[in-house]
Amino acid sequence: MSLRDKHIVIGISGSIAAYKIATLVRLLRKAEASVQVIMTQEATQFITPLTLSTLSNNPVYVDYYDQKSGEWNNHVHIAESADLILIAPATANTLAKCAQGICDNLLQAVYLSAKSDVCIAPAMDLDMWIHPSVKNNIQLLKSYGDLIIPPGKGELASGLVGEGRLAEPEEIFQFIEDHLQANQPLKGKKALVSAGPTYEAIDPVRFIGNHSSGKMGYAIANQLRKLGAEVTLVSGPTALESPEGVQRVNVQSAAEMYAACSNSFQEADITVMSAAVADYTPIEVADQKIKKKAEDFSISLKKTTDILASLGAIKKSGQILVGFALETNNELENAKDKLKRKNLDFIVLNSMQDKGAGFAHDTNKITVINRQEEILSFDLKSKEEVAKDICDLIIAQLSK
Ligand code: CTP
């Protein structure tokens, strides 16, 4: 299996087995994965960052702050970008820190910020491996959902023979490949996501826009891609970076967004319209910058095409169409009405009455209503977590 578009973050802690990671990085790169290595200070005693940056074709991060480039190594971004985080070799010390939530180096901060699955490959001497405190920590890590790649038996660096050797690079590679493959329920599916605001030009320098950041749509596109879908992201103007492996189509206006979405919709198995599309656009766009003259000034607007409703009107059976509703009042009734009017499979409701929900926040609180008018309420979560919930509902809908 090719691991193209998969981004693996590897955290190396201070064990003699660190040298094996050079081979693992080569195997991952050969399978076309992108690899980001993070090391603890201790790990750099066992294998040089230069070896790993050369093999991974990426800078290796050790500290929060890179003295040379003056750059801040953002642990949240590193964690967010990962399709999988692997900690290998994980020493008894690193295991304990992960189990207890201790955050005294970049690797630990990335572990605590993980959004993806985390695999941990321990390596230590046999007596350490069977110590009850280590066993307890392993149980704790499993209870958090981390996956343990068990150590092998054999000769240890201490000269003792027993269990504790880091799994071989080929075994770790196989584990990663199997895990990523098993987590691809949307493999072979095409998805279309709209995100961000639209800008409706008034003249060459002014526009009518809105405060949508695009974060929710980008998180959904990223999650759909992680689950194996081939994703087209039609994006209004945002400051966000494209999620890796997603095909992004940049648009400005509602009309451009309509054209781009119509282009991809026929092929799409899953469509999620999370963009905040302008409902009205100026009837005329001035060729030159409008000068201020009169005391009062008004712009005549005309309705834009409702993209979601137009797609709903031509939706074929088997296609899944999801819309959003941002409401300030009469939320449930308005959302139910949109669900029916636009022929959706389900609608994701954001209420402006919920704190931390809606535009610009990193969090969101959603209520989902389906065609049977069942209402599912979710807690306030990060937009990545919300994206996972929405994708779970899509997967459930596909298997109906
Ligand atoms: N939408 C769209 N095209 C438009 C307007 C909205 O595709 N021209 C989509 C949005 O992407 C969202 C859903 O319709 O998924 C609901 O958008 P919203 O603005 O809440 O609803 P409207 O239908 O515009 O209704 P109203 O403004 O009256 O609340």
Our answer on whether the CB atom of 333 is closer than 6 Å to any ligand 1 atom is: no
Ligand 1 geometric centre to CA of 245 (Å)? 28
pLDDT beyond 90 at 307: yes
In short, whether 129's Cβ falls inside 6 Å of ligand 1 is no
Euclidean distance between CA atoms 191 and 268, whole angstroms: 5
Taking the centre of ligand 1 as the mean of its atom positions, its distance from the CA of residue 333, in whole angstroms, is 15
Residue 386 host element (H or E)? helix 383-398
Check pLDDT > 90 for residue 263: yes
Mutational test site, ligand 1, from 273, 281, 332, max ligand atoms within 8 Å of CB: 273
User: Token pair 């090391």 is at which residue?
Assistant: 39
- Ligand 1 pocket, residue 215 CB under 6 Å: no
Read off the pLDDT of residues 146-182 as tens digits, 9 standing for 90 and up.
Answer: 999 999 998 888 888 889 999 999 999 999 999 998 8
Asked if residues 323 and 314 have their Cβ atoms less than 8 Å apart, the reply is no
Tokens 């040379």, residue? 68
Tell me which H or E stretch contains 232: strand 230-235
> Does 69 have pLDDT greater than 80?
no
Asked if 138 contacts 108 with a C-beta cutoff of 8 angstroms, the reply is: no
Per-residue burial over 41-64, b = 16 or more CB atoms within 10 Å of its CB, e = otherwise = ebbbebbebebbeebbeebbbbee
Instruction: Give the predicted TM-score (pTM) of the model.
Output: 0.75
The pLDDT of residue 359 is 65
CA distance 296 to 261: 37
Q: Is 210 a catalytic residue?
A: yes
324 is in an annotated binding site: yes
Q: What is the mean pLDDT of residues 59-71?
A: 85
User: In terms of C-beta distances under 8 Å and separation of at least 24 residues, what long-range contacts does 168-174 make, across chains too?
Assistant: 168/20, 169/20, 169/21, 169/23, 169/24, 169/27, 170/23, 170/27, 172/24, 172/86, 172/88, 172/119, 172/121, 173/24, 173/27, 173/28, 173/31
Q: At 388, is the secondary structure helix, strand, or coil?
A: helix
The one catalytic residue in 210, 250, 334, 343 is 210
Q: What are the φ and ψ backbone dihedral angles of 113, each rounded to 5 degrees?
A: -95, 5
Q: Could you report the per-residue pLDDT of 344-353, keeping only the tens digit for each?
A: 999 999 877 7
Atom in ligand 1 nearest the alpha carbon of residue 279: 8
